[in-house]
Amino acid sequence: MPDLAGVVRAIADEMRARPDRGEVARYIPELARADPRAFGLAVIDAAGTVAVGGDADVPFSIQSISKVFTLTLALGMIGDRLWRRVGREPSGNPFNSIVQLELERGVPRNPFINAGAIAVTDVILSGHQPREALGEILRFLQALAQDPTITIDEAVAASEKRTGFRNVALANFMRSFGVLDNPVDYTLGVYFHHCAIAMSCRQLATAGRFLAHSGRNPATGYSVVSPERARRINAVMLTCGHYDGSGEFAYRVGLPGKSGVGGGILAIAPGKASIAVWSPGLDAAGNSHLGRIALEALTKRLGWSIFGV
């Protein structure tokens, strides 16, 4: 069995030495400030051993990775009725695409594209004030990561609120079909803020542990979701977690994973480990360029792909 700490350190060193980094997201102006040379990796195995490399303790904007946790919360609130509001098929389109919404009567293809995540946020908001809904999401992440210091980067949230015209369009379009229940600016306010939560690779890998262990966080012994629900969330991550790059991610890495335009990826090796990687440079599909390459190296060296060695 290769030594986990050694593998993680070696991959971090290899990634930091590479000249190819991808492009930092600029459409949310505040994200353009990220250092393209940053690279972090954290792996937590079933025994709770943490292996870290590079900038594993530097917080970054988790962006769409938050959608895994909002999906988990919304399923906890209304169960499988959620699937009336949002589908679970890969979109084959960019994360911010609007084209399929008209054909499918405002029902987004899956909970990880922007439209789908906005519909999920709307479910969490129902019956609450935006501040309460956001507090619920933040406290959920703090509890999972066992770290009450996790916060929202207000500058990132404000930056997206100022420039998120596409998301405003998606939300209004869905509202016109009756897929959203709440005032659009309330739902988007919560959405922009949960995308702006800042976490480090170590915190994110800790928060993802329940998905690697049949819904139960081995550190606390608490069940977060049932084994069946954990399996299904992993399935949606595998098929939809990287937008129109999901096929390539499954082909190269072979794990359920969720990316964000902040350059983070949460990947789950079921039964084995929760993994978080961060490198702000993105590929053409908006997924972390070196993050994917690092995960490909990791799964290959450890034999962790769900499809076999």
Select the residue interacting with ligand GLN from 195, 201, 269, 294 (CB under 6 A): 195
Assess 160 for contact with ligand GLN (CB under 6 A).
yes
Residue list 260-279, contact with ligand GLN (CB under 6 A): 260-261
Helix (H), strand (E) at residue 25: none
- Which CA distances in Å does 164 have to 38, 67, 304? 26, 17, 37
Q: Which of 8, 24, 123, 243 is labelled catalytic? A: 243
Distance of alpha carbon 209 from alpha carbon 188, whole angstroms: 28
Q: Which of 86, 179, 191, 259 is labelled catalytic? A: 191
Name residues whose C-beta falls within 8 Å of residue 45's C-beta, 6 or more positions apart in sequence: 4, 51, 272, 273
User: Active-site residue 176, yes or no?
Assistant: no
Task: Give Rg (Cα) of the chain.
Answer: 18
The CB-of-265 to ligand GLN minimum distance in angstroms stands at 11
The CB-of-64 to ligand GLN minimum distance in angstroms stands at 3
The CB-of-166 to ligand GLN minimum distance in angstroms stands at 7
Closest listed residue to residue 78, CA positions, set 196, 211, 181? 181
Residue number of the CB closest to ligand GLN reads 64
Distance of alpha carbon 138 from alpha carbon 135, whole angstroms: 5
Assess 114 for contact with ligand GLN (CB under 6 A).
yes
User: Active-site residue 191, yes or no?
Assistant: yes
Distance of alpha carbon 112 from alpha carbon 265, whole angstroms: 13
User: Active-site residue 261, yes or no?
Assistant: yes
Q: Applying CB under 6 A, which residues contact ligand GLN?
A: 63-64, 95-96, 114, 160, 167, 195, 260-261, 286
Binding residues for substrate: 64, 114, 160, 167, 191, 243, 261
